[in-house]
Structure 1
Amino acid sequence: MNMLDKAISLISPARALKRTQARIHLNILNQGYGNHGASVEKKSLKGWSIASGSALEDIEQNVDVLRKRSRDLFMGAPIATGALRSTVTNVVGQGLKLNSRIDYEYLNMTPEEADAWETITEREFAFWAESVNCDITRMNNFNELQQLVFLSQLMSGDVFVTLPMVERINTPYELCLQIIEADRICNPQNLFSLDQKIVNGVEIDFKGEVVAYHVAHYHSSSSMSGQNKWERIEKSGKKTGRPNILHLMEMERPEQRRGVPILAPVFESLKQLARYSEAELMAAVISGMYTIFVTSKAPENSGDFDGINPAELLDPEDEGAVEIGNGLVNYLNEGESIQDSNPGRPNAAFDGFVTSVCRQIGAALEIPYEVLMKHFTSSYSASRGALLEAWKMYKRRRDWLANDFCQPVYEAFLTEAVARGRIYAPGFFDDPLIRKAYCGAEWNGPTQGQLDPKKEVEAAILRVEAGFSTRTRETTELTGGDFFANHTLRVMEEEARRTAGFAAPVNININSDNTKSNDDESTD
């Protein structure tokens, strides 16, 4: 019983009893999370005032500011720029490559027939994808569009792609891709929808299904925005179900309609770190400059100093400005003096502090510090662990890009190719299951970095020999190549070597530390 309760008990014992009973009852109710993370009584949590709303209040009403800040960091904060570009390089690289994998058993095809069909289809797709005709602006091929789409999604939170049909010379295909920046998807006239059926340009029906997008002709910050008009694009065709527009975003909450930039959780850390780095850099530059200050009783009659006119060293727009520079001389007025200032730069604690902050940023972005900063100074095991951890994130995002962008585009291409008779696919338009069987594909990108190629190759050989993997998979993951293409070429190479009288290649015995050379073996 505290002092207040004691005082009340002397005046009104009944009131004091009620207060004691209420406190006991409160302690009973204050259990579970109420006694820990949800407690409002603990001093450490009492000042933690929070408010949480739906995805509309927490996300949709803030995406405009988030996009602007994300782009500003990308343009002016080196760590933010490196994080996004590094992710694009490792996820997309030079572009995800199509590897057609049809369900030949369901299609009643032999493996040989399936391989021949896949080869023809990959050749046709490469013809379309490697040309700028696949881009509505005729500026990028499909691989470059992948890079643009993925970078825009990371930076802005989401990006949109339409699939118009445009007839062009020297190509049998009309399918084109038009990349639309996130800002152009907005409410008509930028007006708020009272029934919330249209939020940030995304329209839903009574079930909550996205049915259409409202696209402005101009960016909201464009000089042409005064003449803006909006076009309503249905998500898919009503008769064919063909997608008219692709919305690439990663959701973090149910009922969310627009994406959040990947850097959003670390905006403050990145901005403050950029400011700190700029301040330290400026301090180091100033500290590295040696400047002479000369006090003169009559500046106007001082004349030149070593051929330098003092008046030329001052800012004509600011009479009180003092210039600094490498070996610069500044003249001071009568009565003025300079007090030495030693900024103590470079700061010995700078690197340690930046490292600590970057570790937190890397953890939020799923990029280990070593990978984020390209700084591998630890042991082989630690560096490999960092690469493997980062690779999990890269593979997840690659699967996302393949599923949400590459595969829908490929299916739209294949539909046109079959309709035009350039690819023979019986039953393609008759049964959705048959169409799905024909559309099976893998999308291969850049391979994982190797710290010790010899160990990686030995591990791959062991997996293949033990039956845990295949030569095709290991070839793709190690080099990004094609095993069957390599095999065909190697047959030709080895035949040429034997014909020329060269010895057989060196074989590595992975079961021991020794290697065995076959250089002395006779040729056939």
Structure 2
Amino acid sequence: MFIQDIFKKSQKTKMRIESHIEPQAYSGSYSLWDYFSGEKDYFAMDSGKEYNVNYYSMATRAYNLYQTNEFVKAGVDRIVQFLVGTGLELYPTPKEDFLKRKYGIELKDSFKKDIKDLWVLYCTEKEVSADKQNDIHQLAKNIAFNAVVGGDVLIIRRVVNGYNEYQLVDGRNVYSSKTLNSDTGNKIKNGVEVDKNGRHVAYYVLDDDGKEQRIKAFDDNGNLYAWLAYTNKIRIGSTRGYSILGAIMQKMDKIGDYTENEVLASALNGKFVATIDQDATSTGVNPLNNKTLGGASKVLPELSKEKFEDKTLIDKIYTQLRRFTNGLVLHMPRGQKLQSYDTKRPNVNFGVFLDANMKYDYASMGLPYEVVLMVFQNNFSASRASLKMFEAILKFTRKYLCIDGFYKLAYEQFFDLEVLKGNLEAPKYIELRNKPGYADNAYLLAKFEGMPIPHIDPVKEVNAVVTKLKNGLVDFEGALQELGSKTNFETLYKSYSEQIKKLHESGISLQGITPDNEKDEDDNNDR
């Protein structure tokens, strides 16, 4: 009767909702359970979990894993090393034609070079950090590391004595016990105060005394004062980033424990482990009695306080212990047999298991397995494809974390101050900056290039770039950037011309790069 009631109820429910059903390509039988939600067989999946991310616990666990798990450390280090390296190189790209056409502004020929020279000097100054210990590039590296591991980093910018100063705050200290700012009516989500449009207007930071300090995101003039740099920010409406280790955190922890256990088992297996089998004729005498120290146990009782200085006894103990460490021969009593014990460890399939799992774990971090281990055992084409894919992934992460999250904003703030101080001639820039709109971006456009992925075969890479250059697919500046040179074309041209002239005067010639039609061993291996 109970089942019939349920069936009738489901039929009524079906009648109520049938009019809302989307048109279907397949018009087979219909039941209440025919809504597709990813489950093909009834009750094959659970109802699904709505995860509310605990940023603070996740970040703490991620930092702990980095400190204690070699696999996590290797992956994180590889990402951070290539994201920032020794620092991103600035290439100013102002819209000179636009400024001239639209506003009649003609920039000096040396404008871009002046910017770059000032920026290079600026990046060597450690006064830009609140603790006076880091320059711009070191700050960027710290931001990248903490954002990758912890999820996000709060950056606070101040102007001190006419210079920009940056303070980095661990994302775990961006916290508030409140969910609403009673003065403004703004919501506070995980330490971030947002207005009705979701814009960040303030951050709450825990100081050393555990008190919450409200840090405004913008100053009274609307200039950016504080912001969060993210690695991962997925959900719409979320205010915080979270660790890239989130999806693999538990698995990495278990693999780390398994590895530790295998190493411990190997150490134990390297020692002599045995059991004593006894038959019916055994007297039960312990063959190791008084012999575990190779006879030294008989000498130990003689070492009273009065005799402790007796060097003869000390030497005797030393001799017995040394004999014991080299080996021990036992005369087994009747009916006893010493049996070696095989622990079957370490697991002979340990390496296969580890490789199979770590490939996918590192892939979730955007890392090819070869890059993490720095071991390339495939042919040239396969290894190069792996490196080029990693390079593409790096560009995305570098763009959204390092450049948009720090370098671009720091450059714009640097540009503002240098113009105000008269170190850069930028006609009408302040006027455009203060006007609504984005015309001032014509001055501020710039590219930042990071450390390139090391080439497996540098000659082939150079030949590829030269081929692009010959066919007009790239200019000289772009070719230098693609090869990872931090020298711009004008500087290279000037210095190279002078050096070549001196070489010619000395009668020295340089051989060029490998001709395009020359074959090498790698070409044959690729086939």
TM range (shorter): 0.7 to 0.9
Question: What's the CA shift for 1:485?
Answer: 1.9
- Aligned counterpart, 2:157: 163
- Aligned counterpart, 2:462: 457
Q: Secondary structure at the match of 1:58?
A: coil
| Closer, same or farther: CA 302–271 of 1 in aligned 2, 3 Å | closer
| Closer, same or farther: CA 409–415 of 1 in aligned 2, 3 Å | same
The residue identity in structure 2 corresponding to 1:176 is E
Q: Is the 8 A contact 1:96 1:443 kept in 2?
A: yes
- Aligned counterpart, 1:416: 417
| Closer, same or farther: CA 131–510 of 1 in aligned 2, 3 Å | same
Distance 2:453 2:390 in 1: 10
Post-superposition CA distance 1:66-113 (Å, at most 9, x none): 111111110111111111110011111101122222111123299995
- Aligned counterpart, 2:83: 91
Q: Secondary structure at the match of 1:498?
A: helix
1:46 and 2:44 are equivalent in the alignment: yes
Question: What's the CA shift for 1:346?
Answer: 3.5
Post-superposition CA distance 1:271-318 (Å, at most 9, x none): 111011101111111111236899976999779535368999xxxxxx
| Closer, same or farther: CA 437–113 of 1 in aligned 2, 3 Å | same
- Aligned counterpart, 1:426: 427
| Closer, same or farther: CA 51–296 of 1 in aligned 2, 3 Å | same
- Aligned counterpart, 2:306: none
Distance 2:28 2:124 in 1: 70
- Aligned counterpart, 2:317: none
> Which of residues 154, 157, 164 in structure 2 aligns to 1:175?
164
Taking structure 2 as the reference length, what is the TM-score of the superposition? Answer: 0.78
- Aligned counterpart, 2:65: 73
| Closer, same or farther: CA 347–423 of 1 in aligned 2, 3 Å | same
Distance 2:105 2:466 in 1: 25
Q: Secondary structure at the match of 2:480?
A: helix
Distance 1:143 1:307 in 2: 62
Distance 1:310 1:266 in 2: 57
- Aligned counterpart, 1:261: 243
Distance 1:337 1:130 in 2: 74
Distance 2:292 2:391 in 1: 67
Q: Is the 8 A contact 1:291 1:327 kept in 2?
A: no
The residue identity in structure 1 corresponding to 2:511 is V
| Closer, same or farther: CA 511–380 of 1 in aligned 2, 3 Å | closer
> Which of residues 483, 495, 503 in structure 2 aligns to 1:497?
503
- Aligned counterpart, 2:218: 236
| Closer, same or farther: CA 302–81 of 1 in aligned 2, 3 Å | closer
Q: Secondary structure at the match of 2:236?
A: coil
| Closer, same or farther: CA 338–257 of 1 in aligned 2, 3 Å | farther
Distance 1:367 1:113 in 2: 43
Question: What's the CA shift for 1:260?
Answer: 0.9
Question: What's the CA shift for 1:213?
Answer: 0.8
Q: Secondary structure at the match of 1:144?
A: helix
Question: What's the CA shift for 1:51?
Answer: 2.6
1:58 and 2:48 are equivalent in the alignment: no
* Residues 349-388 of structure 1: pairs in structure 2 closer than 5 A: 349-388=349-388
The residue identity in structure 2 corresponding to 1:229 is K
Distance 2:110 2:486 in 1: 19
Question: What's the CA shift for 1:326?
Answer: 7.5
Q: Secondary structure at the match of 1:203?
A: strand
| Closer, same or farther: CA 269–373 of 1 in aligned 2, 3 Å | farther
Distance 1:351 1:507 in 2: 45
Higher RCO structure, 1 or 2 (CA under 8 Å, sep 6+):
2
- Aligned counterpart, 1:108: 100
Q: Is the 8 A contact 1:203 1:212 kept in 2?
A: yes
Question: What's the CA shift for 1:207?
Answer: 2.4
> Which of residues 203, 222, 226 in structure 2 aligns to 1:213?
203
Question: What's the CA shift for 1:339?
Answer: 6.9
Post-superposition CA distance 1:223-250 (Å, at most 9, x none): xxxx3222212211232x2110021113
Structure 2 portions without partners, runs of 5+ = 16-26, 277-283, 302-323, 331-335, 521-527
| Closer, same or farther: CA 328–293 of 1 in aligned 2, 3 Å | farther
Distance 2:240 2:138 in 1: 24
Distance 1:309 1:124 in 2: 80
User: Aligned Cα RMSD in Å?
Assistant: 3.7
> Which of residues 227, 248, 251 in structure 2 aligns to 1:246?
227
The residue identity in structure 2 corresponding to 1:245 is A
| Closer, same or farther: CA 291–51 of 1 in aligned 2, 3 Å | closer
Distance 2:368 2:343 in 1: 33
Q: Secondary structure at the match of 2:214?
A: strand
The residue identity in structure 2 corresponding to 1:146 is A
Question: What's the CA shift for 1:26?
Answer: 10
Distance 2:271 2:100 in 1: 79
Q: Is the 8 A contact 1:185 1:200 kept in 2?
A: yes
| Closer, same or farther: CA 426–500 of 1 in aligned 2, 3 Å | same
Taking structure 1 as the reference length, what is the TM-score of the superposition? Answer: 0.78
Distance 2:299 2:327 in 1: 10
Question: What's the CA shift for 1:480?
Answer: 2.6
Q: Is the 8 A contact 2:290 2:297 kept in 1?
A: no
* Residues 99-138 of structure 1: pairs in structure 2 closer than 5 A: 99-108=91-100, 113-138=107-132
Question: What's the CA shift for 1:142?
Answer: 0.9
* Residues 430-441 of structure 1: pairs in structure 2 closer than 5 A: 430-432=431-433, 433-441=438-446
Distance 2:415 2:289 in 1: 83
| Closer, same or farther: CA 389–29 of 1 in aligned 2, 3 Å | farther
Q: Is the 8 A contact 1:303 1:309 kept in 2?
A: no
Q: Is the 8 A contact 1:269 1:357 kept in 2?
A: no
Distance 1:337 1:139 in 2: 68
- Aligned counterpart, 2:321: none
- Aligned counterpart, 1:170: none
Over the matched positions of the two proteins, sequence identity in percent amounts to 20
Aligned length: 458
Structure 1 portions without partners, runs of 5+ = 9-13, 168-172, 219-226, 313-324, 516-524
Q: Secondary structure at the match of 2:454?
A: coil
Distance 2:55 2:262 in 1: 32
Post-superposition CA distance 1:337-358 (Å, at most 9, x none): 9974312234220110000001
